[in-house]
Amino acid sequence: MFTVALVEPQIPQNTGNIARLCAAADMELVLVGRLGFTLSDRYLKRAGLDYWEFARMRYEPDWEKFAAGLEMTRTYLLTTKVNRPYTQIRPQPGDAFIFGSETTGLPAGFLQANAAACYTIPMKNSGVRSLNLATSVGIVLYHALALYDFG
């Protein structure tokens, strides 16, 4: 129904948890760019438990090529750099949700060039910079899924 893309994820446990989430929701997971771990990492495998057979995952090594191929009218960029809440997203099947690295987020120039596609998860406490990546993906993905019948 949807695609989740992680751009240069650094923490294998987050990626493993997100792979498990995508497997449960029957979504494709795309890992993009330089990864902070190998796809054989034991922490990645452990976080995904025994659900790897259900995960639809692919690796795109070239961020620029991947970004150039995005249909931006069907893409949502999640970032802490804007104020528009994710609850305004009204996705359609086939749309993509793009999340940046745990340490740097999505490239600033890409966000600026695609400001209309940017959304955030609002936080009440301004002293908290961001949420865990796996938590963020879960919040946004299940918001999107709640708009559709799971049956």
State pLDDT tens for residues 66-97. 999 999 999 999 999 999 999 999 999 999 99
Closest to 5 in 3D by CA, of 83, 84, 69, 52: 69
| Class of the domain covering 3-146 | alpha beta
State the 10-residue block means of pLDDT for the chain, 151 residues long. 96 91 93 89 65 85 97 97 96 95 96 98 89 96 84 46
Looking at residue 128, its pLDDT comes to 87
Amino acid sitting at position 119: Y
**pTM, rounded to two decimals:** 0.93
